[in-house]
């Protein structure tokens, strides 16, 4: 595979990787600020300890896989798990053949942590790590772009005109096909652009459609492409979403402005920081089974991805309580005897009624999705 034709969007390799490492080392103060955010700005000893470990390891990495193993999955993610989660669990990793590449299609709750946790669990289960697709709206400066692409980040160009965006999406889709099928490299991709704000995990069929359009001229049949891509649905569930209230406020403002919402300059950066440092309670990541069989349309494939994500989604007490509360039911009352519903509701007591209901529904919607899937079985 000729990686050079994708050099503007692909993870850094070779000379580009070495140059990016040097740029990062030239700005150690940025690394220090990042570590300070991660471990708490008042813990000076911890900051110096973590920063020393990063600098020691970063000098020895030669490619993004080593960067992931030694820095991200080796230092960053274990720190986040230890400091912000009461429990982290996973399931389904027997579905992954280490000799194959996969297109991991995942529900999306946290800007960077969803895919970082997948990488961490791949490492702990002795599976090859993956590349990860991120929107270019997150690349706020060269340092951040370098960190993403040193870590296996693939750039999704979004701020483009209609024609340019179509051509860029074809290029991106072609890259996914090439690395998964020809190089047996796995890629993490969100099932839709942006995070789910409402808790409804629905795959955008256009993602599947563009994969096919990037290969259609080669004469490949749709179903043949789908089977060759080893599409593997991923479900990640957080007991508490650190950005739940902010997501609710954003969506209510969007509704009030007829679908328009302009993010503030550093809003995504603040969301990333909150996602890394705030309490998440228990977190579970579930791997589904590769999508195989005869499929005629992108909608059919997207529906199967949704089905697996909904059924594999770990429902926490927060989800069950929110469902019963919003539906005015006692369906899950017997499972919630030890759950402090009043304390959970206090989390949102300062919100306006419309924002509060939106946030509570974002917790309840995974339950609704599960119920619908089980009824259709």
Tokens describing residue 269: 């950066």
Please state whether beta strands 186-190 and 231-238 pair in parallel, antiparallel, or not at all (unpaired).
Answer: unpaired
In a domain, 57, yes or no: no
- Which H or E element spans position 362? helix 353-376
In a domain, 291, yes or no: yes
Q: CATH no. for residue 132?
A: 3.40.1130
In a domain, 339, yes or no: no
Calculate mean pLDDT across residues 316-342.
97
> Each residue of 266-293: pLDDT tens digit?
788 888 889 988 999 999 999 999 999 9
The C-alpha atoms of residue 244 and residue 342 are separated, in whole angstroms, by 18
Q: Does position 42 have pLDDT exceeding 80, yes or no?
A: no
Q: In angstroms, how far is CA 247 from the centroid of its own chain?
A: 16
Q: In angstroms, how far is CA 169 from the centroid of its own chain?
A: 19
Q: Does position 233 have pLDDT exceeding 90, yes or no?
A: yes
In a domain, 52, yes or no: no
Question: What's the Cα-to-Cα distance from 270 to each of 137, 243, 306, rounded to whole Å?
Answer: 13, 10, 29
Calculate mean pLDDT across residues 252-274.
79
Question: Structural domain tally of the chain?
Answer: 1
Residue 122: per-residue pLDDT: 97
DSSP calls for 316-349: -HHHHHHHHHHHT--TTGGG-TT--HHHHHHTTT
Q: Does position 114 have pLDDT exceeding 70, yes or no?
A: yes
In a domain, 350, yes or no: no
In a domain, 377, yes or no: no
Phi, psi dihedral angles at 347 (to 5 degrees): -55, -25
In a domain, 173, yes or no: yes
Residue 114 structural domain? 3-8+83-314
Q: Does position 258 have pLDDT exceeding 70, yes or no?
A: no
Residue 261: per-residue pLDDT: 64
Residue 234: per-residue pLDDT: 98
pTM of the model: 0.94
In a domain, 150, yes or no: yes
């Amino acid at each position: 595979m000729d990686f050079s034709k994708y050099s503007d969007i692909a993870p850094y390799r070779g000379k580009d990787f070495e140059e990016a490492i040097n740029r990062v080392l030239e700005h150690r103060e940025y690394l220090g600020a990042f570590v300070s955010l991660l471990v708490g700005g008042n813990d000076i000893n911890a900051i110096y300890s973590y920063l020393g470990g990063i600098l020691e390891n970063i000098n020895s990495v030669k490619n993004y896989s080593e960067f992931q193993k030694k820095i991200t999955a080796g230092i960053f993610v274990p720190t986040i798990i230890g400091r912000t989660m009461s429990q982290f669990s996973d399931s389904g990793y027997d579905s992954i053949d280490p000799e194959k590449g996969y297109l991991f299609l995942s529900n999306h709750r946290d800007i960077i942590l969803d895919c970082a946790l997948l990488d961490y669990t791949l490492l702990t289960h002795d599976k090859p790590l993956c590349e990860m697709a991120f929107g270019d709206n997150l690349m706020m400066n060269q340092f951040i772009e370098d960190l993403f692409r040193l870590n296996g980040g693939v750039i999704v160009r979004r701020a483009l005109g209609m024609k340019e965006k179509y051509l860029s999406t074809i290029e991106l889709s072609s890259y996914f096909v090439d690395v998964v099928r020809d190089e047996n490299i796995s890629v993490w991709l969100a099932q839709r652009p942006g995070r789910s704000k409402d808790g409804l995990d629905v795959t955008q069929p256009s993602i599947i459609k563009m994969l096919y359009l990037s290969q259609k001229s080669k004469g490949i049949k749709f179903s043949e492409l789908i089977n060759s891509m080893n599409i593997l649905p991923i479900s990640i569930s957080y007991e508490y979403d650190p950005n739940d209230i902010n997501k609710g406020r954003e969506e209510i403002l969007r509704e009030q402005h007829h679908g328009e919402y302009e993010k503030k300059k550093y809003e995504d950066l603040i969301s990333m920081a909150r996602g890394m440092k705030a309490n998440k309670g228990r977190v579970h990541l579930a791997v589904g089974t590769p999508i195989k069989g005869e499929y005629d349309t992108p909608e059919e494939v997207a529906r199967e991805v949704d089905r697996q994500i909904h059924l594999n989604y770990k429902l926490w007490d927060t989800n069950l309580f929110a469902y019963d509360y919003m539906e005015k039911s006692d369906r899950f009352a017997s499972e919630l005897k030890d759950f402090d519903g009043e304390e959970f509701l206090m989390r949102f007591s300062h919100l306006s009624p419309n924002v509060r209901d939106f946030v509570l529904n974002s917790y309840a919607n995974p339950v609704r999705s599960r119920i619908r899937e089980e009824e259709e079985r």
